[in-house]
Structure 1
Amino acid sequence: MNDNLINEFYGIGIQNGKTPENLGVLWRSAQNLGASFIFTIGNRYAKQACDTHNAVKSMPYYHYDTFEDFLRNLPKGTRIVGVELHADAKPLETFHHPRRCVYVLGAEDHGLSKQAIEKSHFLVKFKSQLSLNVAVAGSIVMYDRATSKPRV
């Protein structure tokens, strides 16, 4: 087995998710695009029809009550990649994904918290006329990761 694959993982989740439907769609994409785990920060997951593959039972799911709780429980060496329309965010098109990371998305109505933005090792954004649905945005990021770009 390739040693790089053993040392490589990623998780994806939503901070203060607005609707359970978005979580289900994001998690189905996470299962299809190779995420190692899924998580929420703030609001709790509730089963819904959008998670037709039952991803929450097919891959590890973590819930953190607060962002501080999330930070305390990250695996050592994990980089935080915030997905946010922010002036300091790097374009996804040229971003090299870390080998070991978590992607944190915010709810459509509020985005990431100030603390999440400040604690992120990287911020990424991609070209879009308007803010996208959180499940769509997360799926785009995971698809980009699945391409043959080198990892850092």
Structure 2
Amino acid sequence: MASERGAERGGASGPAEGPGASEQAEQVEQTGQVEREVGVGPWEGPWPEGEHYDPELLARGDRRNVVDEYRYWRHEAIVADLDARRHTFHVAIENWQHDFNIGTVVRTANAFLAAEVHIIGRRRWNRRGAMVTDRYQHIRHHATVEEFVAWAAESGLAVLGVDLFPDSSPIETYAMPRDCVLVFGQEGPGLSEEVRRTATATLSIAQFGSTRSINAGTAAGIAMHSWIRQHARIG
């Protein structure tokens, strides 16, 4: 299997100059550095057969930020394979002040295979924390809360706000609907009153220290994993 062979070889060649190189270059632009050299070098031996393989990557190596299973795969083939397995929960985050947590939310949503990430408010967002995972994650923009809520209703999704309100239900014991969208507010002011008013429910994450709240990117990861524990097929 390509992933197993790639993991064994580890790759000894320099960075690829094809599709993989462009993604690595984008990672450098977003983060300022490549955390460590990843990926594999050129394929050794007879090339594998299959339309999902990218000849450029097979020839030059694959240094992209993808799991071993997708080494040497074309970008479009990876997205198609992910689309066939995506979970039914969505994630939304309000972006009225250019929130720096959105990149982290996108990266985590990719890791947990969310159906889509929704940006409410400003279209532009800082991609630094996404680590190029936005290439594989569907992202939709909604200019207003009203537009987002109308989309959720039409799509049959329960809107679940995540914030520390007096009437919020503990996320640790809440039975999440399989088809839902988890909504997170702007860092600082938190979930907007418009979202809170229209949400099916608001959920709180248990805290035990002195801080009043946790980072929005961290809260999103906890909430997504709560859905995973209730609904995802593990193993």
- Given candidates 187, 211, 215, the residue that maps to 1:133 is 215
Larger fraction in strand? 1
In structure 2, stretches of 5+ residues that fail to align are 1-84
Distance 2:161 2:197 in 1: 9
Amino acid in structure 1 at the alignment position of 2:120: I
Counterpart secondary structure, 1:25: helix
Q: State the shift of 1:97 in Å.
A: 1.1
* Range with greater deviation from structure 2 (66-75 or 109-118): 66-75
- Given candidates 61, 84, 103, the residue that maps to 2:182 is 103
Contact 1:29-1:139 at 8 Å conserved across structures = yes
Aligned residue runs from structure 1 range 1-152, under 5 A: 9-16=88-95, 18-52=97-131, 54-74=132-152, 75-128=154-207, 129=209, 130-147=212-229, 149=230
In structure 1, stretches of 5+ residues that fail to align are 1-5
Amino acid in structure 1 at the alignment position of 2:217: A
**Percent of residue pairs identical:** 26
Larger fraction in helix? 2
Q: Name the TM-score, length of structure 1 as normaliser.
A: 0.85
Q: Name the TM-score, length of structure 2 as normaliser.
A: 0.56
**Partner of residue 79, structure 2:** none
CA RMSD of aligned residues (A): 2.3
Q: Give CA-to-partner distance per residue, 1:84-133, whole Å, 9 cap, x none.
A: 10111100110111111101100121111111101000110011242111
Question: Number of matched residues?
Answer: 145
- Max radius of gyration: which structure? 2
Say which structure, 1 or 2, has more relative contact order (CA 8 Å, 6+ apart).
1
Q: State the shift of 1:77 in Å.
A: 1.6
